[in-house]
Each structure stands twice: as C-alpha cells, then as structure tokens.
Amino acid sequence: MIQLTQGGVVSAAGDVQPLATEFQRKGFVQFKNLLDPRLLSLIVEHLARGDWRSIQGGFYTEDKFEGLALEALRFAFNRPAFLQLASTIGAWGLSVSFKVESFAAMRSTGTTGIPT
C-alpha cells in the first residue's frame, strides 16, 4: 500500500509494480487509502472550516474553495517522493479524486465524514 502521511510517503518494495501493471492495462490507477487517516481527518476538518464562495459565471455557478486544506493537499501530492512514485507507475498527468463525502454536504451540515 502506498500512503501519504504527515511525515512523507510510505510504501513497500512490492507496491509499485502491480500499480504500474494496472496503469498499463487500464490507463489509470486507484490508490486505496492514499491519505493517512490522520492527514485525511486534518484536511477534511479544514475543508469544513474553509471559505466557500459561489461564483456566478453567466449560465453557470461555480463553488470555489479557499483555505488551508488546498495548501495541505498541494503539499502532500507535490512531494518529490510521491511524484517519483507516480512517474515510476507511469501516471504522469495524475488526477486524484476523493470519495469522502460531498463537500457541499459537509458545508451545509458541518460534518466531516470521518468515523470517530
């Protein structure tokens, strides 16, 4: 398992090759439990307290988030060790999505989606 923690990237020697094979076969890789639960909890907490702004753009409305959570995610995913792993796997152009809870629901209910 590859995991981003507050201290860095954690992975075992046998973790990369299966992901590289999956990437070659499917064209994408799903990192399960990529964020350490403590780091995820911290990020979700900052998401819940962040500044959400609705921007009207003609025929659409965009919710834009500003806050420490984005900076924490940028810091985590731009660590050289993680970028090297992504490069080794073949996942340049890496797109990361999270399945925690709808951020809109978090904003409206004040919940974090993290089990306690």
For 69-72, which contacts have Cβ atoms below 8 Å and span 24 or more sequence positions?
69/43, 69/44, 72/39, 72/42, 72/43, 72/46
CA distances from 69 to 44, 53, 93 (A): 7, 15, 21
End-to-end CA distance of the chain: 23
Q: What distance in Å separates the CA atoms of residue 44 and residue 106, rounded to the nearest whole number?
A: 9
**Which ranges of 1-116 would DSSP assign to H, the alpha helix?**
16-26, 37-49, 68-77, 80-89, 103-109
92 pLDDT band, cuts 50/70/90, is low
In the prediction, which pLDDT does 115 show?
Answer: 38
Higher pLDDT, 14 or 110: 14
Q: Do 46 and 67 meet the contact criterion of CB atoms below 8 Å apart?
A: yes
Residue-wise pLDDT for 27-86, tens only, equals: 888 888 889 998 888 888 888 887 778 888 788 888 888 788 888 888 888 888 888 888
